[in-house]
Amino acid sequence: MKNFKSIALALVVVLSTATVSAQTKNVDASKSSIVWTGKKVTGAHEGTINLKDGNLVFKGKTLVGGTFNVDMTSMIVTDLKAGQGKEKLEGHLKADDFFGTDKHQTATLVFKKVVTKSPNVYTVTGDLTIKGITKPVTFDLATTANSATTKVVVDRTKYDIKYGSGSFFDNLGDKAINDNFDLAVALKF
């Protein structure tokens, strides 16, 4: 009987540690930031875009998932001042030949696979939806107890954003715009 109690106790300990429940940490959108950078032959532009909401899912201290929604209508240019082309570039980025924010006001990212790369650093593959088109994207994400950071490279042409792309148009010369744009993301939760 004593042996049976020991086995039962061991089974309870194993089952309780094996079923660690997932904890969802909501991101504080007002304290988080997304900085974008788009490059072209003659330079680069950068700006910000606002996170609407999002969360990271942890099992114990290990990241296992996440979901994010970005307000595409909040996109602004920060490297130009009013009267220096800021309004024109912001309007063009929101137009149909770029992000089409009248029809596609939200971009989403849903984590599909999370692999531990090193302590508190994960390689994430997720489904990124821009302009209603969903494609996989992979990036590294570093976490602390109350924050996460990443740099994501996105190929805009995969989302039917081909304006000024040397991959689709000839003779652009110094008007060519890189297919990739960069996102520097800092999350607080």
pLDDT, tens digit, for every residue of 135-166?
Answer: 999 999 999 999 999 999 999 999 998 866 54
**Which pLDDT band holds residue 171 (cuts at 50, 70, 90)?**
low
Alpha-carbon distance of 48 to 78, in angstroms, equals 7
Domain count across the chain: 1
Which residue has better confidence, 125 or 174? Answer: 125
Residue 166 belongs to some domain of the structure: yes
What is the domain range of residue 144? 22-188
Residue 14 belongs to some domain of the structure: no
What pLDDT does 161 receive?
87
Query: Pseudo-torsion of CA 89, 90, 92, 98, nearest 10°?
Result: 120
pLDDT at 173 over 60: no
CATH number at residue 102: 2.40.128.110
Residue 118 belongs to some domain of the structure: yes
As a whole number, mean pLDDT of residues 68-78 equals 97
Q: Which of 6-20, 107-121, 124-138 has the lowest mean pLDDT?
A: 6-20
pLDDT at 41 over 90: no
What pLDDT does 42 receive?
81
